[in-house]
Structure 1
Amino acid sequence: DAVYNQDKPIIESQRPHRLPLDLKEELHVRSDKYCVAYRRWLKDLGITWGVSP
């Protein structure tokens, strides 16, 4: 509980930016292989943004 209580205000204050899943909007390099695969999988599921609005 102590760690959770320390982390809670930080986690609750985060406001992630919306991440478009359109791969054409960014330049990708070889090290992005798994990120690209994950984003393609999300697109196949019909998800268009990496973070809910």
Structure 2
Amino acid sequence: MTDLSWRKSTRSGPEQSCVEVAFSRRKAHIRDSKSPDTGMLTVPTGTLTAFLDSIKA
């Protein structure tokens, strides 16, 4: 998965904990922005969307 384009929140600062998200075909990949080489969590895109919708409510 080296060809992923990672995105970090524009609200995160250099000293804040933050995650990065990248999307591939039907999958969302999530990793720690301060330790990007320690691994990532991969879930179906719909699962991430449902999770984000539930915390926005």
Instruction: Report the TM-score when normalising by structure 1.
Output: 0.29
Higher RCO structure (Cα 8 Å, ≥6 apart): 1
Question: Larger Rg: 1 or 2?
Answer: 1
More strand by share: 2
Instruction: Report the TM-score when normalising by structure 2.
Output: 0.28
